[in-house]
Structure 1
């Protein structure tokens, strides 16, 4: 899987930009990833249906991610809840090879990852599935990760139930990126003219 190098402006969702901006503010203190308990975006309660929290065991050859919460959107898109399960087992042999490399790269690079994939709902309407991954660590290897999941359709309404498992075609990757450039926090109202970052 090929990963592009990107800066924060690649993210489309305003709320996902808010989450990344909060992470960047913490990261900027000493250029290292923050602890999970420091991450407190405003109004995070409103976004809990779109968030999935994972614990990470990075001691083995491949990191193991356990789902600690199951955002409503993920449960609906994959057809059932996954709380307490390993992510690769939850995804199954068909989807795991497509999804897990993004999580592994986020953990290995200790940097945010962002993907956009297109998939048809059960009625054939095109849906963009946007995923932002944020890594966290207490002091050593990454031990927590948050996924923010957004689904958008230019057709307006769409059916999220079984979106990721409801047809024979796998999600089609449109963007797979590691956010490794311009890792600075921009305060609202203080963005220089011409700066590509658009936080606020």
Structure 2
């Protein structure tokens, strides 16, 4: 998978942009990776029902990601329990490569990773999985990844369980961005110069 450099504007979801902005603020305050124990977004920032948390584990040959938590909307979508299992154990085969590649890139780059994966529902309408990964760690090493997972259909309501079944059959990678914390600082709107009022 190729990851282009992106900015906060690359993220479609308003709540995911808010969560990414919160992460960037922590990262900029730390001048690097924020420790996971600082992760405490308020209720107005992002709904924890959409969150999964993964511990980054260094294996002999590659990194693996062990589930520590998943929100209730993810529970609705995925019937099998995840907590305690690795990403390679729980990711469906067709999703394994893009999901693990994004997680590995998040861990190696220390950047937020935003991907959009697409499938179609039974009526042929597109359904997107918007996936935002945020790295947390210490001493320059990513130890935890917080993932926000949102299913979106422009045609109406998404049935989570059926959408996951569709992704297991066919998945296309639509977007894949790497977003550094510094890019949030650069993309902040600049204050407009004051214009004097006519006398």
Larger Rg, first or second structure (1 or 2)? 2
Residues 33-52 of structure 1, C-alpha deviations (whole Å, 9 max, x = no match): 10111122221796121000
Q: 1:45 to 1:72 in 2, by over 3 A?
A: farther
Contact 2:118 2:127 in 1 (8 A): yes
2:184 partner SS: coil
Residue 197 of structure 1 is matched in structure 2 by none
Any unmatched runs of 5+ in structure 2? Answer: 193-199
What residue ranges of structure 1 are gaps of 5+ in the alignment?
Answer: 195-200
State TM-score, norm by structure 2.
0.85
- Paired with 1:76 and 1:99, the residues of 2 have a C-alpha distance of 19
- Greater strand content: 2
Residue correspondence of structure 1 range 121-136 to structure 2 within 5 A? 121-136=121-136
Q: Report which of the two has the higher share of helix.
A: 2
Aligned length: 191
Supply the distance in 2 between the matched residues of 1:185 and 1:39 (Cα, whole angstroms).
23
Q: Would the aligned equivalents of 2:117 and 2:128 in 1 still touch at CA under 8 Å?
A: yes
- For the structure 1 residues 60 and 75, does the alpha-carbon distance in structure 2 shift closer, same or farther, using more than 3 Å as the test? farther
Q: Which 4+ residue blocks in structure 1 deviate beyond 6 angstroms? A: none
TM superposition score normalised by structure 1 = 0.84
Once superposed, what is the RMSD of the aligned Cα atoms?
A: 2.4
